[in-house]
Amino acid sequence: MPEGTASVPVSLRVPADLIETLDKIAAALERSRSWVMLRALRHYIADEGQEVLDVQEGIAELDRGEGIPIEDVLAEMDEIIAKAEASRKAG
């Protein structure tokens, strides 16, 4: 953990087979079980966790009326495709 970062103890029930795997990984890396678990949590938060937050933010944007109607998006896509096809035919 970066120096100066406060840590909070957390209690978690974990299946024995998962702990066994974590311990094997920790031993192979010569790191503690906590280090491996913290790294796994950080990866989860960066990937799946961030996706959940992004979806929530998108929903909040829609609730605030900040969305773009699908018809407008499709019309813009049709325009882009038409320009690309015209450019391809001309070139």
Task: Determine the Cα–Cα distance for residues 31 and 60; give it in Å rounded to an integer.
Answer: 40
Q: The whole model's pTM is what?
A: 0.61
pLDDT of residue 74: 97
pLDDT of residue 91: 73
Whether the CB-CB separation of 76 and 84 falls below 8 Å is answered with no
In 3-state terms the chain splits into helix, strand, coil percentages (rounded to 5) of 75, 0, 25
Q: Is 55 helix (H, G, I), strand (E, B) or coil?
A: helix
Residues of the chain scoring pLDDT < 70: 1-4
